[in-house]
Amino acid sequence: MEVKQMEPNKTEIRKIDPDDLIYVNDIIQMFGGKISKNIIYAWIREKKLPALKVGRRFVFSRKRVEEFMAKKLGLAS
């Protein structure tokens, strides 16, 4: 699948592995159920957590979420 992500004055085309895509509920499970959907939506609004909107759902790259979690939990090097 090829996805085009648009930012002001910038276009980036990346290949995304469909097996790498996860959803909001998957992120909640990755955090051990200790966060809510509202927190995830706030991170998206604040552009802290990269996401793509497909229809009415947000999808995420598992790799990028894992990188975000490492930073959020203070595990980033």
Phi first, then psi, for residue 39 (nearest 5°) are -65, -45
Q: According to the model, what pLDDT value does residue 1 have?
A: 55
Rounded distance, CA 4 to CA 39, Å? 26
The per-residue pLDDT for range 14-44, each reduced to its tens digit, is 666 778 899 999 999 998 999 999 999 999 9
Rounded distance, CA 32 to CA 26, Å? 10
State the average pLDDT for the chain: 82
Q: Which domains does the chain have, with CATH numbers?
A: 2-72 (1.10.10)
Strand partners, 14: 3
Phi first, then psi, for residue 33 (nearest 5°) are 75, 10
**Would the pLDDT of 59 be above 90?**
yes
